[in-house]
């Protein structure tokens, strides 16, 4: 073969390779357009018609912060759907009350004292749950705290507490229960974030930062599951606005008749529907989506003026929080299960 024919064949091979690359790229674009159109169509259909809800009969649902508010109501609703409910709260008395409410409904439930802000406590109690109840198939990270002060007024330990309860706890609980879900390709991780995890609120630097973290955590966890091919393990991020559980007692927006505090039951019903239909994100009320969307394209100053007009700047001024201060009282209690385990005492 002479030099010219070698050059010709190499040139043909190169052209062929480039044509092949272009065809496969064009194919990728066609597939991308098809999948995007399909996802859009499904999302639009989903907006008007709820998909079928899944059964909870054989599920083990663990709820953190089940002793009060949203967590308690979620526990009651899941037990009504015949799920086995596992209650975790640092407040033993409050958790017993939730347990009694479920028992009165003939529900199946197990309650444990667990301070989710203590990594060792989470690991130990998770082991006990696996042994005594079984593998958790639905994990609801709900426990949360707020202190509601200006950045310069928050004591260091309260800032750390906010992050340990609202965000870091999600890492410890999820890392305990996700492996068995992945192994069976069956499960659901639900994180209760907040509208304040999408749009910032005045005097809530620590709370908003932790809840923005919850949004990011859930988003990336979902990527890991989807890109890892674990299509049977789902995630849901719930972002409610002000709910009347007492956590934000005293707070109000400028036009409460337009955006009144949400009823706990209504909020929980909406979150339940999202979980039962494997919805990825649920915001209540719907105006939360609108504010989060506006933020992405409006100039920062314009958004600030709108938020100020709506009363976001003064929302926390009349903050009282939980009247009975049950966080503070339980904060001082030696509630760690590690202590109980050392003394061989069983949980609640
Ligand atoms: N109430 C609202 O307006 C509102 C709005 C948006 C999001 N949220 C979020 O919803 C979730 C539930 O809020 P809620 O209003 O029901 O709160 P809540 O104060 O009524 O109940 C929280 C429960 O979590 C428990 N808890 C606190 N720290 C804990 C810890 N370290 N370990 C274990 N349990 C702990 C408490 O004992 C309590 O039973 C929170 O994550 C909160 O941030 C609440």
Residue 226: CATH number of its domain: 3.40.50.720
Q: What is the pLDDT of residue 1?
A: 62
Centre of ligand 1 to C-alpha 143, Å, is 4
Peptide bond into 163 cis (omega under 30): no
Grade residue 50 by pLDDT with cuts at 50, 70 and 90: confident
CB 141 within 8 A of CB 174: yes
253 backbone dihedrals φ, ψ, rounded to 5°: -85, 175
Count CB-CB contacts under 10 A for residue 120. 13
Centre of ligand 1 to C-alpha 43, Å, is 30
Q: Give me the mean pLDDT over the 50-59 stretch.
A: 92
Domain that holds residue 265: 60-342
Residue 24 included in any domain: no
pLDDT in tens, 158-208: 999 999 999 999 999 999 999 999 999 999 999 999 999 999 999 999 999
**Shortest-distance Cα residue to atom 18 of ligand 1:** 69
Question: Which position among 17, 34, 207, 289 bears the catalytic label?
Answer: 207
Q: Give me the mean pLDDT over the 85-97 stretch.
A: 97
Q: What is the pLDDT of residue 324?
A: 56
Q: Give me the mean pLDDT over the 146-153 stretch.
A: 94
Centre of ligand 1 to C-alpha 208, Å, is 14
In short, whether 75's Cβ falls inside 6 Å of ligand 1 is no
Mean pLDDT of the chain: 91
Residue 257 included in any domain: yes
Kindly give the residue spans of alpha helices, DSSP state H, lying in 185-286: 205-227, 264-276
Residue 287 included in any domain: yes
Q: Is a pLDDT exceeding 80 seen at residue 325?
A: no
Domain count, the chain: 1
Centre of ligand 1 to C-alpha 192, Å, is 9
Residue 218 included in any domain: yes
Residue 38 included in any domain: no
In short, whether 240's Cβ falls inside 6 Å of ligand 1 is yes
Q: What is the pLDDT of residue 332?
A: 34
Nearest atom in ligand 1 to 73's CA: 16
Ligand 1 site-directed mutation target among 64, 69, 326, most atoms within 8 Å of CB: 69
Q: Give me the mean pLDDT over the 265-292 stretch.
A: 95
Residue 45 included in any domain: no
Q: Is a pLDDT exceeding 90 seen at residue 111?
A: yes
Q: What is the pLDDT of residue 347?
A: 45
Residue 53 included in any domain: no
Read off the pTM.
0.89
Q: Is a pLDDT exceeding 70 seen at residue 127?
A: yes
Concerning whether 112 is annotated as a catalytic residue, the answer is: no
Q: What is the pLDDT of residue 244?
A: 94
Residue 140 included in any domain: yes
Instruction: Return the ∠ at Cα 252 (arms to 251 and 254), rounded to 5°.
Output: 150
């Amino acid at each position: 073969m002479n030099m010219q024919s070698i050059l010709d064949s190499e040139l043909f091979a190169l052209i062929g390779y480039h044509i092949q690359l272009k065809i496969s790229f064009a194919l990728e674009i066609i597939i991308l357009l098809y999948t995007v159109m399909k996802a859009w169509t499904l999302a639009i259909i989903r907006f008007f018609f709820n998909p079928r809800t899944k059964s909870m009969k054989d599920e083990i649902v663990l709820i953190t912060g089940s002793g009060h508010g949203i967590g308690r109501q979620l526990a009651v609703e899941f037990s009504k759907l015949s799920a086995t409910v596992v209650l975790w709260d640092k407040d033993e008395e409050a958790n017993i009350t939730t347990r009694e409410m479920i028992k009165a409904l003939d529900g199946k439930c197990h309650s444990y004292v667990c301070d989710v802000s203590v990594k060792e406590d989470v690991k130990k109690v998770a082991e006990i749950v696996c042994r005594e109840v079984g593998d958790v198939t639905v994990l609801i990270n709900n426990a949360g705290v707020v202190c509601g002060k200006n950045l310069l007024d928050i004591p260091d330990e309260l800032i750390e507490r906010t992050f340990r309860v609202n965000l870091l706890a999600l890492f410890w609980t999820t890392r305990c229960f996700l492996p068995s879900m992945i192994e069976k390709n069956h499960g659901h991780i639900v994180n209760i974030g907040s509208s304040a995890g999408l749009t910032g609120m005045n005097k809530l630097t620590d709370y908003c930062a932790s809840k923005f973290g919850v949004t990011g955590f859930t988003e990336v966890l979902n990527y890991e599951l989807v890109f890892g091919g674990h299509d049977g393990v789902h995630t849901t991020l719930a972002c409610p606005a002000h709910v009347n559980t007492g956590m934000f007692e005293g707070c109000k927006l400028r036009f409460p008749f337009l955006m009144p505090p949400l009823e706990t039951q209504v909020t929980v019903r909406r979150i339940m529907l999202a979980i039962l239909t494997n919805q990825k994100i649920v915001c209540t009320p719907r105006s939360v989506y609108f504010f989060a969307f506006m933020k992405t394209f409006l100039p920062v100053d314009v958004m600030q003026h709108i938020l100020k007009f709506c009363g976001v700047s003064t929302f926390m001024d009349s903050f009282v929080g939980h009247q009975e201060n049950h966080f503070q009282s339980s904060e001082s209690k030696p509630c760690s299960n590690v202590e109980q385990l050392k003394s061989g005492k069983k949980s609640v």
